[in-house]
Amino acid sequence: MEKARAILIRRIRFSETSLICVWLTRSHSKTKTSARGAQRPGSAFAGKLDLFYEAEIAFAKSRDGDIHALREVVLLQAFDGEGLHYANLAAASYFAELVDRVTEPAGHAEEVFDLLQRAVTYLRTERPTPRAISHFEAELCRALGIHDADPLHALTGQCGRLPSTSRDRALKACAPLAKVPARDKME
């Protein structure tokens, strides 16, 4: 049985009641697990397998594949709160998709995990800005050992193409809201 501190970066429906969960862990890099019966009422996984949740997981390694059996999840930090807006979700989605593209199973991802953990912790309480998104991209390049004046160019070289749709969505969501002029009071 393997144990790891992990952040859930992707969920894929496997059957009516089961999920494939993609985790970024500090010790095992990107890890895929099957959560059998996770969507059944009363499941031991109920309320613990939402995106961007940080947890301590235990899983049994597969002998012949890359999808391991999830055995236990102890929730450490949920991704919710009073300050959470659509912009927070959009930025977290972009970060998770980007990290998913640049990491490999069984690789070394300590710095990438630490970066994602800091970003998710920040997004739990603070509204993102375009500068925060650019900072994440630059720090991800640093964590991967990529040195380029343009982080977007460097990340494109690393993963083939950027998740531009989710990046555009995140940038648009965190742009300052336009002020609406006040209406004249009706008498």
> 53 lies in a domain?
yes
CATH of the domain at 39: 2.40.50.140
* Domains identified in the chain, total number: 2
Q: What is the pLDDT of residues 29-83, one digit of tens each?
A: 899 999 998 888 888 898 889 899 999 999 999 888 889 999 999 999 988 766 6
Could you say which of 37, 52, 77 is where a domain stops?
Answer: 77
Could you say which of 17, 48, 77 is where a domain stops?
Answer: 77
Q: What is the pLDDT of residues 138-187, one digit of tens each?
A: 999 988 888 777 888 888 877 777 788 889 999 999 876 544 444 444 44
Domain extent, residue 36, equals 2-77
- Angle of CA points 171, 91, 32, to nearest 5°: 140
Q: Are 158 and 144 in contact (CB under 8 A)?
A: yes
Residues 43, 20 share a domain:
yes
Residues 109, 164 share a domain:
yes
β-pairing, 2-13 with 19-25?
antiparallel
Q: Are 76 and 163 in contact (CB under 8 A)?
A: no
**What is the distance between the alpha carbons of residues 173 and 95, in angstroms, rounded to a whole number?**
14
Residues 46, 123 share a domain:
no
> 183 lies in a domain?
no
> 186 lies in a domain?
no
Write down the pLDDT at residue 83: 63
Q: What is the pLDDT of residues 82-113, one digit of tens each?
A: 667 899 999 999 999 999 988 888 777 899 99
pLDDT-derived band of residue 6, with 50, 70 and 90 as boundaries? very high
Residues 114, 65 share a domain:
no
